[in-house]
Amino acid sequence: CVTFLIIIGDQFDRVLKSLVGPNFCYSWYMNRQFTISASALVFILPMCYSRTIDFLKYASSLGVLAVVYVVGLVVAQHYTGDFVPGPIKTSPDHWTDVFYVVPVICFGYQCHVSVVPIYSCMDDRRMGSFTVVIVATLALCSSAYTLTGTYGYLTFGSDVSSDILEDYSGTSMAVLVGIVAIAVKTVTTYPILLFCGREALTSVWCQFVGDFEPSYPPTERLRRVVISTLWFATTIVLAVISPGIGIVIDALGSLAAVFIFILPGLCLLQTCLQRDPCLMVNRMRWYVGIAVMFAAVGAFIMGVVLVQTVERVLTTPATPSYLCT
């Protein structure tokens, strides 16, 4: 959620610099802190109090179209833009450098969290239909990530920014539309992840206080509003004080490894133990082995990425890369 708010701030900065000039942030109403907070309050917060997320299906469709447009923009700019690419690396300096990409990959594919509430909102909950949804979604994400990453790197080389849209001229109408499209996509995605976090906190709170009817209306509504508001306010503060999206992705990358590897491994292990507590069936033993392997790999990756991130922050402190001068 923090990264999404930072992205919104980046897009506002790009648009305002193009329309107003490099000194736009000296006006309080165009300052990054204000644009992030105000836009989130107006466009995001009202969608965060819903009890379910099925109403977001239309807004999410708009977000998908926005992503498709940006992918097309990056590809088109590579062929039509007059860019001089920076140095292009074809191999890492050290084998451990491959773990630097893990935060980005894990962050981009951590859809495990939202898949359960999305499944609960489906009209057709057959496994076949759900499998089609998963395969289509992953195919779309993989295609978008691959095309954007490949053409963005070929266009700018190692000089590419964490937010690639910052590298394009904001005077181009096509780029401005892409900036607005990414902002729209971000607005429609934030409430989904807030919903998942809210439900997780609700479950923990209900177990802590002994409330075995978390959906009981009188308490459910108040609890939903309080948790959503606190979550929203916390992410606003973190987004405002963060120096940029790159360091945030690095910091959250190790936690994303938990959702990519450890959480599925634990879920598979729990399912196997519920179905066959004594592991009498050979197939269940294989599943348990796979679950343990997933959890072990996730723990290893989380540790390596966390150490690399801390080392990089200490040796090369991140500096804000805001567009306002």
**Model confidence at 318, in pLDDT bands (50, 70, 90)?**
low
- Do the beta carbons of residue 170 and residue 17 sit within 8 Å? yes
Q: Using a pLDDT cut of 70, give the percent of the chain over it.
A: 89
**Model confidence at 75, in pLDDT bands (50, 70, 90)?**
very high
Q: Which residues, other chains included, contact 288 with Cβ-Cβ below 8 Å and sequence gap of 6+?
A: 269, 272, 273, 279
Q: Rounded to the nearest 10 degrees, how much is the dihedral formed by the CA atoms of 64, 69, 70, 71?
A: 90
pTM of the model: 0.74
From residue 238, how far is each of 36, 37, 198, 231 by CA, in Å? 11, 11, 18, 11
Residue among 53, 28, 62, 42 at smallest CA distance from 232: 42
pLDDT confidence of residue 213 = 59
DSSP state of 20: T
**Model confidence at 325, in pLDDT bands (50, 70, 90)?**
low
Question: Apex CA 263: angle with CA 259 and CA 265, to 5°?
Answer: 130
Of 47-56, 207-216, 233-242, where does the model show the most confidence?
233-242
pLDDT confidence of residue 230 = 92
Mean per-residue pLDDT, 5-22: 80
Q: What does the alpha-carbon distance between residue 25 and residue 322 come to, in Å, rounded to a whole number?
A: 10
Does 132 score more than 80 pLDDT? yes
Q: What does the alpha-carbon distance between residue 284 and residue 290 come to, in Å, rounded to a whole number?
A: 10
- Do the beta carbons of residue 298 and residue 265 sit within 8 Å? yes
Does 64 score more than 70 pLDDT? yes
Residue among 116, 152, 109, 112 at smallest CA distance from 253: 109
Q: What does the alpha-carbon distance between residue 236 and residue 5 come to, in Å, rounded to a whole number?
A: 7
Domain boundaries, the chain: 2-242
Does 147 score more than 90 pLDDT? yes
pLDDT confidence of residue 322 = 58
Does 216 score more than 60 pLDDT? no
Length of the chain, in residues: 325
Give 268: exposed, middle or buried? Use CB within 10 Å, 0-12, 13-18, 19+.
Answer: middle
